Structure 1
Amino acid sequence: MYFYLSIIICTHNPRQDYLARVLEALKKQSLSLNKWEMLLIDNVSDELLSSEIDLSWHPHSRHIREDELGLTPARLRGIREAKAEILVFVDDDNVLDDDYLEVVLKISKDYPFIGAWGGKIKPEFEVTPPDWTKPYWDFLAIRDFEADRWSNLIHHNYTVPCGAGLCVRRVVAEKYNELLRQDSQRTNLDRKGKLLTSCGDTDLALTACTIGLGTGQFTSLGLTHLIPEHRIQEDYLLQLVKEITCSSTILKAIWGEYPNQSSRSQKLFEFYKRLRMDSRSRRFYDASQQGKKLAMQKIAS
C-alpha cells in the first residue's frame, strides 16, 4: 500500500504519560490515517512495548523492536522499515499540532528543493523553570523564529532543523544510511541509554546538502516539547552542555569545519571573560570548554 508519510517514533524506556500524549496528538491529526503509516521503534526498553502500548486505533501501525541500543540505530531501523517517500521523526515527548502532518505534506510538495525540514518547538515544562535556565533552552530543543528560512549551505546552521519533528525525504535518509556504513563512528553522535551525546539529527539533516537539496525551518509547522522537572536541574543542564558541545564539535569536523587551536591573545581574552562571569555562568562555560577539549581528543585519535 502507498503512503505519503511514514511517522517514526523511536523510544527507550519512555515515560508512559508522555508517550500517551504523543499518540493522542497523532490520533487527532487532520491528515487522513490512510495517507500515513506509524512505526513505534522500541529501542531495547526494559518492558516490551508491544505488550503495553495499543496501536490498534491506527490501521497502518507497527511495533518494531530494535535491540541495538542507541537513537541512531533506532532511526536507521525506522528508515529501513518505512514505506513512504517522506519520513517524520517524532520523539516520545513531542506533541504535534493537529495539522502537523498535513503541513509536512504541503511543504514537501511546495519546496521540492528542500530535503530536511522542521518547525517551531514550544516547551511545556513540568514545573516552572527558573529564569537562569533561559540561556540554555536551545540545548533543550526549543525553537522560535519569525519567518521561514532555508539554505543548501552546510554551515548555515540557522536553517538546520533539530530532531524533534524532523522531516526528511527518503533519498536523504538512504544517503545518510550509506554515509554511516562508510564511517561507523557517526553512529555515536546521538543518545545512547542515559548518555546525552547528540547531533545525529543534525548529521541526518545536513546529508540533504550532499545531494543538492537544502534544509529549512517553517513557521507553519509546530509542536510542543514536554520537558520533565529533572531536565531543568543544573547538574543535568551542565552535562547536557558538555556533551552537546563535544558532539557538535566532532560533527563540524566530520563536515569539514575543524576546530582551531586558540591563539595566545584569544586564550587571554577567554581568561578575562571567564573572570567576569558569575559563578553559575562560569560553571556552564567550563562545561562547554570540557566538551570542546574532549572533542579535540577524540578527533585527534
Structure 2
Amino acid sequence: MNGISVIVCCYNSVSRLKPTIEHLQNQINIAVGQWEILIIDNASTDATFEFANNLWQNSKTADSPNFRVIKEATPGLTAARMCGIKNSSFDFLLFCDDDNWLSNNYLSDALGIINNNPNVGIIGGYGLPVFEGKEPPLFWENQYHTLAVGSQYLQEGNITNTRKVVYGAGMIVNKKAFAELVDEYEFEFQTTGRIGTSLVSSEDHELCLAVGMIGYEVLWYKKLQFYHYIPKSRTEIKYYKKLFLGFGLSSPMLIGYYLDRINPINLKNDYRYIASRNIKKMISIYIKIFYQRIILQKSEYQILHLLQQLYSNLGSFKTTIKVKNRIRDSFLKTRLYKLN
C-alpha cells in the first residue's frame, strides 16, 4: 500500500518520547490513510510501553493516523527495526529515532520524492542539532557528522556511487527493495546495531550498501529536515571515544561490501594484514596525539579527528582478531556477492 510506516525504535525512552510523538502529530499535507506510527519497545526496563500508549490516547484527534506500540524482546536496534518492518502496512519505512523531531512536512515531502524517483531504495534527510547544554567546541568543524546532523554529501540527490550511504536517523527505506534483498539474495545483517548502552553500529550503512548493490538508488535531500536532540553527555569526550570504538568494532563486519571483485582473496583482505595495519596506525596516531596534547597543549576537542582514528582502529583490531576471515569467507558465498 502506497504510504509511509514511521518506525520509532525505543529503549528506555520515557524521558525522550514526548516531543518525538508531538512532532509526528504535527505532520501536514498527508492523508491519514497514507501513514502510520509504530513504536517498537525494544526490551525496555522502564515504562516506555505504557507511556507511549497513554501519551497517544491523551492527545490523538480524528485526523490522527493508526498508532501501535509493539514489544520486541530481542535487544538491539537491528532486531527492533526488523520487528517494525514485519508489522508495517505501507510500501515505505521511515526510521525515526526516539530523539528525532521531524519537521511538519517531512512525510509529505518524502512522498513527493518517492513519486518522482521510481527506482529509489533509500532516502536520507538533514539533521539539525538541539543541544541540551551549550554547543560543544568546534562542533561544525569535526563532530556534526558523527552525531547524524548536517549535510550528508556535497550535492543532494543520487549518492549511490559517491558517498553510497546515509545515516539511520530519518532514513526512509523502500520495503520492496528490502524484501528483494531478503527473498532473492538471502540477506542477513552482519552488524547488530546498538544494543542497550553499547554503541556498536553501522547497520544503516550496511543496508545502504546492500540496496545499492541490487540496483536501487540511495538519495539524500536537505528539505527533509528533522531536529536531533543531543544531551550534554553525548558531546563529552568520553562519549565520543566510546562512539568511535563502536564504529571500529563494526567496520570489519562490512568487509564483504568492499572486497576486490577481481581478486577478493588477497593480502589486503586477510585478517593478519588488517590487524597489522591497525597496530601500525594506532602507534602512529598515538605519537601524533602525544605531540598535539603535550607539546602543543591542544584540547581533546581540537584533536578529535585523531581520537576518532585511534579508537576506530582499536575497535577494528578487536573485531578483526575475533572474527579473522570468517566474515569475508561467509560473504563470498552469498548471492549478494555473486551479483558482481
Instruction: Give the TM-score range, shorter chain.
Output: 0.7 to 0.9
For the residues of structure 2 that align with 1:49 and 1:137, how far apart are their CA atoms? Answer: 29
For 1:213-264, what per-residue CA distance to the aligned partner results, in whole angstroms no more than 9, with x for missing partners?
Answer: 111111221111100011011111111011112213432x031344864499
Residues 79-94 of structure 1 mapped to structure 2, 5 A cutoff = 79-94=85-100
Greater alpha carbon shift after TM alignment, 279-288 vs 85-94: 279-288
Matching residue of 1:150: 158
1:287 corresponds, among 296, 301, 311, to 311
Matching residue of 1:226: 229
CA RMSD of aligned residues (A): 2.8
Matching residue of 1:173: 178
For the residues of structure 1 that align with 2:308 and 2:78, how far apart are their CA atoms? Answer: 27
**TM-score under structure 2 normalisation?**
0.77
Deviation at 1:284?
Answer: 4.2
For 1:96-141, what per-residue CA distance to the aligned partner results, in whole angstroms no more than 9, with x for missing partners?
Answer: 0110000110111111122001111111110113315551332211
Residues 175-194 of structure 1 mapped to structure 2, 5 A cutoff = 175-177=180-182, 183=188, 186-188=190-192, 190-194=193-197
For the residues of structure 2 that align with 1:249 and 1:149, how far apart are their CA atoms? Answer: 28
Q: Is the 8 A contact 1:160 1:217 kept in 2?
A: no
Q: Is the 8 A contact 2:177 2:211 kept in 1?
A: yes
Matching residue of 2:23: 25
Residue type of the partner of 1:10?
A: C
Residues 96-107 of structure 1 mapped to structure 2, 5 A cutoff = 96-107=102-113
Question: How many residue pairs end up in the alignment?
Answer: 293
Deviation at 1:276?
Answer: 4.2
Matching residue of 2:12: 13
For the residues of structure 1 that align with 2:195 and 2:184, how far apart are their CA atoms? Answer: 20
For the residues of structure 1 that align with 2:175 and 2:39, how far apart are their CA atoms? Answer: 18
For the residues of structure 2 that align with 1:159 and 1:74, how far apart are their CA atoms? Answer: 24
Q: Secondary structure at the match of 2:56?
A: coil
Q: Secondary structure at the match of 1:278?
A: helix
Residue type of the partner of 2:200?
A: T
Residue type of the partner of 1:65?
A: K
Q: Secondary structure at the match of 2:143?
A: helix
For the residues of structure 1 that align with 2:319 and 2:131, how far apart are their CA atoms? Answer: 31
Matching residue of 1:136: 143
| 1:247 and 2:233 aligned | no
| 1:55 and 2:70 aligned | no
For the residues of structure 1 that align with 2:281 and 2:80, how far apart are their CA atoms? Answer: 41
For the residues of structure 2 that align with 1:3 and 1:48, how far apart are their CA atoms? Answer: 33
For the residues of structure 1 that align with 2:186 and 2:41, how far apart are their CA atoms? Answer: 22
Rate the CA distance shift 1:270–1:13 in 2: closer, same or farther, 3 A: closer
Matching residue of 2:334: none
Greater alpha carbon shift after TM alignment, 210-219 vs 53-62: 53-62
Q: Is the 8 A contact 2:285 2:310 kept in 1?
A: no
Rate the CA distance shift 1:227–1:264 in 2: closer, same or farther, 3 A: closer
Matching residue of 2:264: none
Q: Is the 8 A contact 1:148 1:218 kept in 2?
A: yes
Greater alpha carbon shift after TM alignment, 106-115 vs 266-275: 266-275
Percent identity of paired positions between Structure 1 and Structure 2? 26
2:200 corresponds, among 190, 197, 202, to 197
For 1:182-216, what per-residue CA distance to the aligned partner results, in whole angstroms no more than 9, with x for missing partners?
Answer: 656x252x100010001111112222213211111
1:69 corresponds, among 67, 75, 78, to 75
Matching residue of 1:95: 101
Q: Is the 8 A contact 1:161 1:205 kept in 2?
A: yes
For the residues of structure 2 that align with 1:240 and 1:22, how far apart are their CA atoms? Answer: 23
Q: Is the 8 A contact 2:14 2:47 kept in 1?
A: no
What 5-or-longer segments of structure 2 have no aligned partner? 260-268, 295-299, 327-340
**Between Structure 1 and Structure 2, whose CA radius of gyration is higher?**
2
For the residues of structure 2 that align with 1:60 and 1:223, how far apart are their CA atoms? Answer: 22
For the residues of structure 1 that align with 2:131 and 2:278, how far apart are their CA atoms? Answer: 41
What 5-or-longer segments of structure 1 have no aligned partner? none
Deviation at 1:272?
Answer: 6.1
Q: Secondary structure at the match of 1:112?
A: coil
Residue type of the partner of 2:256?
A: I
**TM-score under structure 1 normalisation?**
0.86
Rate the CA distance shift 1:231–1:178 in 2: closer, same or farther, 3 A: farther
